[in-house]
Structure 1
Amino acid sequence: MAESPRTNRLRRLLDGDDVALGVLDNTYSPTLVEFYGELGLDFVWLDLEHAGPSPWDGERLDDLLRAADATEVELLVRIPTPDPALVRKALDAGVRNLFVSRVETAEEVRRAVRASRFRYDGDAGDRGFANPRASRWGTADDYVRTEDEETLVGVTIENRTALDNLDEILDVPELGFAFVGPLDLAVSFGHPGEPNHQEVQDAVAEVERASTDAGVPLGGLGFGMEDVNKKADSGYQILNLGSTTGAVKQVVTSWLDDFDG
């Protein structure tokens, strides 16, 4: 019996000008992915650039995706390079939301987005056609149209070269979102560990203004709920609230601090 692929909740939120809230799960645990969905988060961020399983490890992705499917939370998967082959691999596993690290030029971004589409910008796309998990192993109805409509590919703006090419990057057809990376921007500007340095903050503000002007949804890190609320009010649509280990640290530290023994 044919199945319809599930719709992309994150894409629906962005299309409706709503705000999506999520958490970085830096334990890469299917149990926690499922639990975060039960708690009502819109997405779980899996960072395959800095840690975790290899982005080529389809079996690990399968387990994490099944956990997300159980509670209809979306996975937001960051891959380490704008390699079109890696884009196709992740999407065939069933990932719907990708964001690409280390981009510098619009052409790199265009190749990555085109690799996610069967049809792209009125022409042929570069997505490989097969019967992978994304198509429910060939049983999904209208697989080509649905995948092109539901897949979301964004980029991290995290270095000076990308900033120099920002307008051209944001003009790439069907770009899903731009995610500001202040920590890596700080490194790129020669201020590692100083995301609040004025030069870095000016760069962040430039990304914010340009994304708004281009009509590209904006994503970023929340540094506490006051910052999250401020960014949501200023137009951010994808906001990461924190990490699994950060949340555990905060709670366990408070327990230890409150212990009277």
Structure 2
Amino acid sequence: MQTPSNLFKQALKDKRPQIGLWMGLASDYSAEICALAGFDWLVIDGEHSPNNLSSIMAQLKTLAAYPGSHAVCRVPVGDTALIKQYLDLGAQNILVPMVDTPEQAAQLVQAMRYPQDDGQGGVRGMAGARASRWGHYTDYFQRANEEVCLLVQVESLDALKNLDAIAATPGVDGVFIGPADLSASMGHVGNAAHPDVQAAIADAIARILQAGKAPGILTPDRQLAAQYLQLGAVFVAVGLDTQILMRQTTDLAAHFKAEVTAIAPAKGATY
């Protein structure tokens, strides 16, 4: 058996738009429902969701049955040992929050890669784990470095200041703009739709593209999502499973119960 090519990474390289969904329910059961919906990529969130290594592995196994929906695993923090564990589970696409400097980005590139003499050798520890299907992928150790995909999140004023250098870091495949934390960093907590925040996002997308990398972002606002795609964003998450469940169940209850109030999404809000 041969190590499969990372089609999501190739799509980012080719700048082919990828429409995704955020998964925070920490369930392989709901992950299958999301995969059947037809999204190009699905985030298994380890930062703001009650996921652990076992639940992440269960969701990776479920999504593997639906190769059209690529798993992107978000680690809670850019820790080298934790990234190694996610990769050993079989995750190919890693999303790292709160990357503020090119030095952080370079450290993450090292964490993602085995120490090979290919110009991008790293510090990933060797193990015959699930990533190589316990050795059934006979070329895994030779191919892994080129098939893993590193996505870094810029979501602060410091990150914007260092964005050009972060995006230019060899081994960084995509740069994800975190609108909620960015708006908070800019003094507009809970208001990602603020004109200053939106101007910063548009500028960031342009700078990421200028560096030759794929820009990404999350918004459940359909009009904003279309606008970001038009600006050149490549991987765009257009909803969150937890939010969809909350809003739809509340709306249904409100239809039959006068004391329940449906929750309308705020324009431009992330959550």
- TM-score, normalised relative to structure 1: 0.90
- Equivalence for 1:83: 79
Give secondary structure in 1 for the equivalent of 2:65.
helix
- Equivalence for 1:137: 134
- Equivalence for 2:119: 122
Comparing 33-42 with 105-114, which one deviates more in the overlay?
33-42
Tell me if structure 2 keeps the 8 A contact 1:76–1:98. Answer: yes
Separation (CA, whole Å) in 2 of partners of 1:86 and 1:212: 29
Aligned with 1:16 (options 3, 14, 17): 14
Separation (CA, whole Å) in 1 of partners of 2:138 and 2:233: 34
- Equivalence for 1:69: 64
Shift of 1:95: 0.7
Matches within 5 A, 1:194-209: 194-209=191-206
Q: Tell me if 1:99 matches 2:101.
A: no
Q: Tell me if 1:27 matches 2:25.
A: yes
- Equivalence for 2:264: none
Tell me if structure 1 keeps the 8 A contact 2:220–2:240. Answer: no
Aligned with 1:233 (options 217, 230, 244): 230
Matches within 5 A, 1:103-114: 103-114=99-110
Tell me if structure 2 keeps the 8 A contact 1:19–1:236. Answer: yes
Separation (CA, whole Å) in 2 of partners of 1:214 and 1:122: 19
Q: What CA deviation, in whole Å up to 9, does each residue of 1:84-115 have, x standing for no partner?
A: 22211111111111111121211111011121
Shift of 1:123: 4.9
**Which sections of structure 1, spanning at least 5 residues, go unmatched?**
none
Separation (CA, whole Å) in 2 of partners of 1:17 and 1:199: 26
Tell me if structure 1 keeps the 8 A contact 2:22–2:239. Answer: yes
Shift of 1:125: 1.9
Separation (CA, whole Å) in 2 of partners of 1:121 and 1:80: 29
Separation (CA, whole Å) in 1 of partners of 2:257 and 2:47: 41
Shift of 1:254: 4.0
**Which sections of structure 2, spanning at least 5 residues, go unmatched?**
259-271
Tell me if structure 2 keeps the 8 A contact 1:82–1:109. Answer: no
Whichever residue aligns with residue 44 of structure 2, its letter is L
Aligned with 1:166 (options 163, 166, 172): 163
Identity %: 30
Separation (CA, whole Å) in 1 of partners of 2:3 and 2:90: 10
| CA root-mean-square deviation | 2.0
Q: What CA deviation, in whole Å up to 9, does each residue of 1:217-248 have, x standing for no partner?
A: 01001332222222222211111111112222
Comparing 220-229 with 109-118, which one deviates more in the overlay?
220-229
Give secondary structure in 2 for the equivalent of 1:240.
strand
Q: What CA deviation, in whole Å up to 9, does each residue of 1:161-194 have, x standing for no partner?
A: 1111111111110211001111101111222112
Separation (CA, whole Å) in 1 of partners of 2:222 and 2:77: 30
